[in-house]
Structure 1
């Protein structure tokens, strides 16, 4: 704590002199914790991709707004048939890509069919499973026919995985992204920063910022000085550590503790012994003390959860009491499962503090019931390759920040390796249900199934700790999608 006070005192003068200049600026430096593996949101699961390019560089037919609402984007309007199976989209006339090529219905057809294809590398391919055919009516009109009605279809089209790309430039989007958004890609200094600039000829309202630099700063030791000296103007998700109270007390900054869609979980390999045993997973659930995990997760903030669902959603059911913290019950379940003396396993931890710090707490808690965890720190790219793709893990900790994504538990190839026909039936019914009250009932049913099956250790909803210069306007307080949308951000005059 003394260290952070010293930093604050030493940099106060520098900050005071710099902030007077910032009000007139049209450039912005944004701090981000993770460097993305690449910049194509249609070909990767990393939230760090959308954090930079969603709504800034790439756009979909629809977009998700700051309150989680569905808004028009490259589709200015749409009509839905009475049976809910045909969507006719009117596209933006005059929209262009950053290389000067025109956006039209051909791009929509290409993008959706590419995402649906058998060899698709889209991390959320299931979003497009309901699509039967995509028909071009004219250059600014597209008709999408669904196999069955899907109540979440417009919402699904607002995910970063559903952005529209051009066939001519799609293959190069990982390194040189070309979209239709209000910002264009300028450069990527690997390991350091990614820079965007204002796109000329944007179809919508022009942005106020001329340049945006996303600077990669993974920890509090570097983030706090960067903020205090004015080198970084905003951290949408700041690794503040124990310096947060001092920053909160400083009127030169705005600190907003908002909500995210990030269900932070102890992900479990359900097809790997002994985690394929329900009693073992139940024992782990009883051994977890959520409040202690939240206190030690690097920020001290978070809302306890008992299933894979956001407390901010109207369909949320509080299931934290399904497996209350009970060490004796955990030990009894392990004994019933044949592990009276416990067992050893590995815990792979990606870089974020909620994982690295929270992992230490969880390892200590499981040790109390006889489960010895070998902690293996991995970089983000390693986590994606080893855990997410290869399913080479026992346990891991990660926040799933995709919006409203409980349906991932119905996927046969998902890295949890969970397989429950009853759960799949609920999700299948949900997919063809548009009545919101009925959808909420099905969401509740789905939450209860995976909670009772203890598929994963459900820990807490990841908070969004946003810190930025008090003269900045338009930053999002909450994160209904995994994005840093800068389209309305400006410096106060």
Structure 2
């Protein structure tokens, strides 16, 4: 069993611990809203942040060219592979397009509030393991057939497919009766029960607000999976196969919220060769794309984009392994570790001032740190008091012990540029309060500091800068950084490297807030809107 403590940037939401406490005292939609606040970070993370080497830009043409027909709306997307169903949409452009075609039960907005889409209500049981979902009345697929609870279950099972998005599979893993050994889950899966035509009951094995992420998956019936044909529930429907671009989307007359105002959409491919021409000559009205620094510079020069912003993140995780024999199986020991580690010092000295907030929070069981004060700010005194309350006493060597056994933790650290420096800082801080730290390369450890591209919903982590060393002119800084003797030396190298990065044509990665501003001065007045839900205005 793996338990984790948050090492996370403060960007809003609630800790899992506080959310669970909140859920005990609230019911129905209020409880759902609380859970939504917890998983906001998860939804945001899995939405668009996988493209870590490029800036994510959403272009919107506010002013039409004189010769452009008002009824014509062209969307430009990048990296199109034909995976439009939410279970298989892999790239950001496909995900944005998928949202036009498949509506979810609920949607979690950027402020953490819940928007009921196909669902009319979601009620939470007192033990937080059972969710009752009521569908809106009169729902239909794009062909006019009724959308009933049994069909919703069948559609949701596709999200649990072994080839689908990691986030959905993680939710399915907590459903009762889930079989990890099967690629496709059985239609009689115990964790999803159909009560009547408009009611589904979801039973989970764990009380985790992140379970609600399952309800954000788009609903759509598979009419012919081999040909990638579906019945749609979104504002638009696709006629024919989505094999290659361009493709045409038409307004779905059966859309639950009324027919979309924009009746027809043409989706075209945008790539590094045609993007400038498509944007400057008005051949795309809305475009979502990833652009490296050189492309952005070119677009700025042509007047298409005059302002952009980007930064670089990787997900780092400190896991606490809770084996029966592990000392960190005791909550007091985990708390003491959190108090003892000088988190902000580590980040500020290793990554520079810009990253000073990135490693600021340690919170138990939370993917997203809340706006409230830190649960475990650095405090040597609190670390000592916590261990003393748990029955530990210092021996003559200054190490805490209990029943004659010294408090010794085994740390594993790998896969991250700063792993060695982390070990030095962490070991020093633990020793200062009376905790021994040993390192290991094996699977036998108490704590594991590592990086993960796609963290589990129960994992927590902090964002640290991961430099891109593909440019030969600055690749030498990688070896210099690895040889840094201490954090201050590493921080100096990083700051020098940052200056070089600004001079060279490295890729600009995803901005942490994931919202961009772009202003044009040519034939289009360009505005960048909500990156999480880029084309939502089309159906309003």
How high is the TM-score relative to the length of structure 1?
Answer: 0.52
1:260-311 CA distances to partner (integer Å, 9 max, x unpaired)? xx9743999xxxxxxxxxxxxxxxx99x9979xx9xxxxxxx9995699999
2: CA distance, partners of 1:475 / 1:316: 35
Corresponding position of 1:19? 65
1:324-345 CA distances to partner (integer Å, 9 max, x unpaired)? 999x979x99xxx9xxxxxxxx
Is 1:213 matched up with 2:266? yes
Higher relative contact order (CA 8 A, sep 6+): 2
Corresponding position of 2:200? 142
Equivalent position SS for 2:81 = coil
- Please give the root-mean-square deviation of Cα atoms over the aligned residues, in Å: 5.4
The structural deviation recorded for 1:472 is 10
Alignment of 1:25-44 (within 5 A): 25-36=70-81, 38-43=83-88
Alignment of 1:2-151 (within 5 A): 19-20=65-66, 22=68, 25-36=70-81, 38-43=83-88, 45-54=90-99, 56-116=100-160, 121-124=164-167, 125-132=169-176, 133-151=191-209
Equivalent position SS for 2:133 = strand
The structural deviation recorded for 1:64 is 2.9
2: CA distance, partners of 1:312 / 1:185: 40
Is 1:186 matched up with 2:239? yes
The structural deviation recorded for 1:364 is 4.8
2: CA distance, partners of 1:74 / 1:98: 14
How many aligned residue pairs are there? 333
2: CA distance, partners of 1:87 / 1:472: 47
Question: Is the Cα–Cα contact under 8 Å of residues 61 and 72 in structure 1 kept in the other structure?
Answer: yes
The partner residue of 1:360 within 450, 468, 471 is 471
2: CA distance, partners of 1:98 / 1:152: 30
Is 1:171 matched up with 2:171? no
1: CA distance, partners of 2:268 / 2:357: 31
The structural deviation recorded for 1:206 is 2.2
The structural deviation recorded for 1:369 is 5.1
1: CA distance, partners of 2:286 / 2:256: 27
Pick closer, same or farther for the CA change 1:205–1:66 going to 2, 3 Å: farther
Question: Is the Cα–Cα contact under 8 Å of residues 121 and 134 in structure 2 kept in the other structure?
Answer: yes
Corresponding position of 1:226? 278
Pick closer, same or farther for the CA change 1:243–1:289 going to 2, 3 Å: farther
1: CA distance, partners of 2:151 / 2:76: 33
1:368-403 CA distances to partner (integer Å, 9 max, x unpaired)? 4579xxxxxxxxxxxxxxxxxxxxxxxxx997x9xx
Alignment of 1:448-487 (within 5 A): 461=512, 463-465=514-516, 477-479=529-531, 481=532, 483-487=533-537
Pick closer, same or farther for the CA change 1:207–1:227 going to 2, 3 Å: same
The structural deviation recorded for 1:79 is 2.0
How high is the TM-score relative to the length of structure 2?
Answer: 0.48
1:199-244 CA distances to partner (integer Å, 9 max, x unpaired)? 122221322212222322122x521221111111122346351145
1: CA distance, partners of 2:171 / 2:279: 38
1:342-380 CA distances to partner (integer Å, 9 max, x unpaired)? xxxxxxxxxxxxx99874377453254579xxxxxxxxx
Equivalent position SS for 2:97 = helix
Pick closer, same or farther for the CA change 1:77–1:189 going to 2, 3 Å: closer
The structural deviation recorded for 1:464 is 4.2
Equivalent position SS for 2:231 = coil
1:245-265 CA distances to partner (integer Å, 9 max, x unpaired)? 457xx6xx7978589xx9743
Question: Is the Cα–Cα contact under 8 Å of residues 74 and 267 in structure 2 kept in the other structure?
Answer: yes
The structural deviation recorded for 1:90 is 1.5
1: CA distance, partners of 2:148 / 2:247: 28
Pick closer, same or farther for the CA change 1:198–1:43 going to 2, 3 Å: same
Question: Is the Cα–Cα contact under 8 Å of residues 305 and 461 in structure 1 kept in the other structure?
Answer: no
Larger mean Cα displacement after TM superposition, 44-53 or 465-474:
465-474
Question: Is the Cα–Cα contact under 8 Å of residues 516 and 528 in structure 2 kept in the other structure?
Answer: no
5+ residue gaps, structure 2, are 1-60, 177-190, 318-345, 375-415, 426-438, 440-465, 484-506
Structure 1 stretches of at least 4 aligned residues deviating more than 6 Å after TM superposition? 253-256, 288-291, 307-313, 355-358, 468-476
Question: Is the Cα–Cα contact under 8 Å of residues 82 and 243 in structure 2 kept in the other structure?
Answer: no
1: CA distance, partners of 2:72 / 2:373: 40
1: CA distance, partners of 2:313 / 2:246: 27
The structural deviation recorded for 1:82 is 2.5
Equivalent position SS for 1:103 = coil
